[in-house]
Amino acid sequence: MIDQPIGIIGGSGIYSLLENSESNMVTTSFGNPSSVVQSGIISGKRVHFIARHGLNHEFPPHKINYRANIQALYELGVRKIIATHAVGSLNSLMVPGDFVLSNQFVNRTWGRHDTFFDGPETVHISTSDPFCCELRSLMKESLISGGYRHHNEAVMLVIQGPRFNTRAENRIYYNEGNDVISMTGYPEAVLARERGICYMSLGIVTDLACVMNSSDHPEMPSSHEDVVNNSNASFLKITDVLKISLDKFETKNLKCTCIDSLKGAYVE
Ligand SMILES: [Zn+2]
């Protein structure tokens, strides 16, 4: 077993994967995480899991304490996080059930605490490439091994929610070049980077948010029912991919620079 635990942030059902599991409440100087931290073994690896929306889905996207979630995992020694995201699609090639490994995000959220450095300590980290390149290749290999349809690059637009977009908003977002839409993809990635943690999003398309200009997929606005139905269908696929990636984890010798993200980022 590798010594360093792996963090997973996602839907509460992932808890069922853990063997020899235990739950512990972790309090941080940034408040409490969304749920108790559920710890256990998956594929021989020590894993700490946080249910992003709470165990009873009590935290909507704009009320999640993203800082406490990342800080709790950091304090438990986690330096690698795989985060699962249900996403809506704006891209006619990305259809429900497809996995998406986003390589960029566009933030359209507001009012979320998106830094650990509110002063007097000030840092400016680079987020040109906001996701860990090594975890990305691990997830890509895992998706290929599992034979899953997937997309290696995508722009993830992160909206505030909790409502879905209007048709006009989706038209604008589509024309801007966004591929998929999430309500929770920000600010986890940047908070993880501020702590030097490798972070990668494993997205799965649960609905066609509003695919435009495509005869194959006319406008189909999202409904919560669509998302729930497809999320349930996606759950087994997500857990399978997580198991495959945790199986492969040991053999990976990560050479990314996430751990050095704060070097040169401090304002002296
Ligand atoms: Zn990394």
**How many A from CA of 81 to the centre of ligand 1?**
9
Cα separation, 114 vs 140, in Å, equals: 27
| CA 95–ligand 1 middle distance (angstroms) | 28
Q: Are strands 180-182 and 19-24 parallel, antiparallel or unpaired?
A: unpaired
255 CA from centroid of ligand 1 (Å): 7
Structural domains for the chain: 6-260 (3.40.50.1580)
CA of 133 to the centre of ligand 1 (A): 6
Spacing, Cα 202 to ligand 1 middle (Å):
15
Alpha helical stretches, state H, the chain = 66-75, 133-146, 167-175, 188-194, 224-249
Residue 68 has pLDDT above 90, yes or no: yes
Please tell me the predicted confidence (pLDDT) of residue 265: 84
Cα–Cα separations (whole angstroms), residue 230 to 86, 148, 155, 166, 260:
9, 16, 21, 21, 38
Say yes or no to pLDDT of 251 above 90.
Answer: no
Distance in Å, CA 224 to ligand 1 centroid:
34
Band of the pLDDT at 224, cuts 50, 70, 90?
Answer: low
Q: Which of 189-193, 243-247, 261-265 has the lowest mean pLDDT?
A: 261-265
| Per-residue model confidence (pLDDT) at position 249 | 84
Average pLDDT, the chain: 89
Query: Can you give the pLDDT at residue 77?
Result: 96
pLDDT at 168 over 70: yes
C-alpha span between 237 and 100 (Å, rounded): 13
> In the beta sheet, which residues pair with residue 81?
7, 199
Give which of 174, 231, 170, 179 is closest to 206, Cα–Cα.
231
Choice among 143-152, 209-218, 220-229 with the minimum mean pLDDT: 209-218
Mapped onto helix, strand or coil, the DSSP state of residue 189 is helix
**Single-letter residue type at 28:** T
DSSP string, 48-61: EEEETTTTTT-S-G
CA of 261 to the centre of ligand 1 (A): 10
Nearest to 139 by CA among 35, 238, 66, 5: 238
Farthest CA pair distance, the chain: 55
| Amino acid making up residue 258 | C
With cut-offs at 50, 70 and 90, classify the pLDDT of residue 85.
very high
Band (pLDDT 50/70/90 cuts) for residue 210 is low
pLDDT of residue 13: 67
Q: Per-residue confidence at 211, pLDDT binned at 50, 70, 90?
A: low
Distance in Å, CA 199 to ligand 1 centroid: 7
